[in-house]
Chain A
Amino acid sequence: MKQRILRVLNAAGLPVLEPVVRLCAGEAPRTQLRALALTGGVPVLAFGIFLLLWSGLARGIQTKYGTVPTPGEVWTQAGNLWRDHVRSREAAAEFRRQQEEKARALDQAAREARTGATAAAEPDRGRLLERAASLAARAESARRARTAAAPTYVDQILTSLKTVFAGFLIASAVAVPLGILCGLSAAFRAALNPMIQVFKPVSPLAWLPIVMIIVGALYTTDPADAWFEKSFLSSAITVALCSLWPTLINTAHGVASIDRNHMNVARVLRLGAWKRVRKIVLPSALPLIFTGLRLSLGVGWMVLIAAEMLAQNPGLGKFVWDMFQNGSRQTLAQIMVAVFTIGAIGFLLDRAMILLQKSVSYDGAAA
């Protein structure tokens, strides 16, 4: 039983909780407590000291924009943002409910009109049928109506997550195949390497205007029917452009540094090129590919915030810029809430990638 729990914890990437389990099982309490103190107690203590220092210094630093917010103020703002979100959702639910009522009333009226039509004679009948049709159509619109409330903080977090995943998928779809080709063919690598070196260091803020212009020119579907907003595409593409390099380089490296002996096995068996890639190259390079993917996701998350500020994608980046533009007393605290949120999400994304990597590696290791 204990072993099973321990195995699950390890697979889930939470070996820190191991001492807890062992403690509960009554195993060598002193060793466990010491382990707990190290992995759990010390960080908590350090964070506590950080909070104290922050509180102390915050009062002392006076800027023209007010004092630096204390942890308490940041917490209050976080609470405000959450409450706004809850209220907005309640309002939206209320609105939906009312629209439903309205729709039902309209449907009822439509039904009455129709029954009236069957009883009536021309030309009344025609008129009533027309009326019934328009009432039914309005009922339909009422049912489909959505509020036009501003996105809440949670909405913005979700938008950011959706955008970073879109960018990450685009980046992976481009980087992994290119990386494989670079790793397999020296000619390809020689051809691509200069371009990789030149484009890798470019900042997202330099890509963004170009991407926005191109997206603006090429994505000409009517905004009313478009699946994606231009701001979403611009942000996702910029994220992709900046974050594809770690995956590309790591994939190329992983593919190029396949164990000579594994290649010899492929040669002795005379595996065809495609089979070689599928059965030998890819699985062998998978750990490095996943390392690349993990790095890319991290870079992408950082780049996203910057991109959103300018591309007007309604996510966390826009939140930070909008709050900055407000210039109110709560601005600094609100921006700090965003900072912590961004950090926490970045951490969770990284953990998720580690989990993913562990689950596909053949010996449970995460490179």
Chain B
Amino acid sequence: MTPARLELRRIAKGYGPEGRRVEVLRDVSLSVRQGEFVAVVGYSGSGKTTLVSILAGLLAPDAGLALMDGCAIVGPGPERAVVFQDYSLLPWMSARENVALAVDQVFPGWSRTRRREHVERHLSKVRLDGAGDKRPHELSGGMRQRVAVARALAMDPRVLLLDEPLGALDALTRASLQDEIERLWEEDRKTVLLITNDVDEGILLADRIVPLGAGPGATLGPSFEVDIPRPRDRKAVNHDPRFKEIRKAVLGYLLGPGRRPAPATRSVPEPEEARA
């Protein structure tokens, strides 16, 4: 059996000096198959960014293993592209230059024309053809996030990690960008891990939702399969019974067992496939 594209085994991570240590994540396990779109939904401050950072290789866990394709993740790299919450675009470079930075770094062997084409293609993928020369401070929040996505995709990563990418945007821009993300994912069917605090967003975009309990010592709850056929209709969210079922189940966990920090002696959880 091929190893999961991404795997976390009993990850624990805490911050702070001895004696005043805050355990952010405790006993977190997760498995993501290739081509899967997984959404991790949870409270703010529950350690979602820590989770993504460990997956990205930016942080090392205190205990447990983080694996990609069966190999331990020892550091960050362009094969696990990250879209950060605050875009992290380099403000002194134009949109094009930001994407080009990634392309030049990941594909040094390519000719200059090929690289340039690659950059342009990704800019038009996110529908920013005309804005390539603008600097981030001249772009709106939504446009900046699209540049960040373009940059991440241009790296041709094996995994795309999205850390609450739409958190800083207003509802309308969020909606349009959610559609963009869906569309882009459909094109390449990359493995995506989306971190979000919006359950509806998770249901709209993901194949599977995994709730993250409240911290400290947060841990992942059972997975909830989202078997609604794609393309999913945003307008149907409030009416479709399946939407409502899944949402109820996820919220039920988050507001119920997921709300209290689990006791220290909790046994190893299997990634349950709960059918609500």
Binding site for B on A (CB under 8 A): 259, 261-262, 264-265, 267-271, 275, 279-280, 283-284, 286, 362-363
Among all A-B residue pairs, the 10 with the closest Cβ atoms: A261-B88, A362-B92, A283-B92, A267-B76, A269-B105, A268-B76, A363-B137, A265-B88, A268-B82, A270-B77
**Most chain A beta-carbon neighbours within 10 Å: one of B56, B84, B90:** B90
Quick one: which of B67-111 are within 8 Å of A by CB?
75-78, 80-82, 84, 86, 88, 90-93, 101-102, 105-106
B58 at the interface (CB under 8 A from A): yes
B86 partner residues in chain A, CB cutoff 8 A: 261
Identify the closest chain B residue to A267 (Cβ): B76
Task: Tell me whether B106 and A280 are in contact (CB under 8 A).
Answer: no
Instruction: Flag if A262 contacts B135 (CB, 8 Å).
Output: no
> Quick one: given A269-B102, A269-B106, A270-B76, are A264 and B92 in contact (CB under 8 Å)?
no
Using A269-B102, A362-B91 as known contacts, list a sample of 18 further A-B pairs with CB atoms less than 8 Å apart, ordered by residue number in A.
A259-B88, A261-B86, A262-B88, A264-B82, A265-B88, A265-B90, A268-B58, A268-B76, A268-B78, A269-B155, A270-B77, A271-B105, A275-B105, A283-B90, A283-B92, A283-B93, A286-B92, A363-B91
Chain A residues within an 8 Å CB radius of B76: 264, 267-268, 270
Is A262's CB under 8 angstroms from B82's CB? no
Which B residue's beta carbon lies closest to that of A282?
Answer: B92
Note all chain B residues with C-beta closer than 8 A to A265: 84, 88, 90
Give Cα distance in the complex from A296 to B250, angstroms: 60
* Pair B77/A268 contact, Cβ less than 8 Å: yes
Shortest A340–chain B CB gap in Å is 40
Cβ contacts B169-203/A at 8 Å (1 or 0 each): 00000000000000000000000000000000000
**Closest approach, in angstroms, between the C-beta of A267 and any C-beta of chain B?**
4
Q: Find out whether the CB atom of A264 lies under 8 angstroms from the CB atom of B78.
A: no
**How many Å lie between the Cα of A268 and that of B88 in the bound state?**
12
Which A residue sits closest to B135, measured CB to CB? A362
CA distance A60 to B93 in the complex (A): 62
Chain A residues near B90 (CB, 8 Å)? 262, 265, 279-280, 283-284
What are the interface flags for B110-138 relative to A under an 8 Å C-beta threshold, 1 for contact and 0 otherwise?
Answer: 00000000000000000000000001010
- 13 A-B residue pairings within 8 Å (CB atoms): A262-B88, A264-B58, A264-B82, A264-B84, A264-B88, A268-B78, A268-B81, A269-B102, A269-B106, A270-B76, A270-B77, A275-B105, A279-B101
What residue of chain B has the Cβ atom nearest to residue A279's Cβ?
B101
Task: Specify which chain B residues have a CB less than 8 angstroms from the CB of A279 in the assembled complex.
Answer: 90, 101
B163 to chain A, nearest CB (A): 10
What is the bound-complex CA distance between A271 and B93, given in angstroms? 16
Interface centre among B56, B77, B92 (most CB of A within 10 A): B92
Cα distance A267–B58 in the bound complex, in angstroms: 8
Instruction: From the candidates B56, B93, B137, name the one contacting A268 in the complex (CB within 8 A).
Output: B56
Please state if A261 and B84 are interface contacts (CB–CB under 8 Å): yes
Using CB atoms, name the residue of chain A closest to B77.
A270
Across-interface contacts of B81 in A (CB, < 8 A): 268
State the Cβ distance, A286 to closest chain B Cβ, in Å. 8
Q: Report the Cα distance A283→B91, complex, angstroms.
A: 9
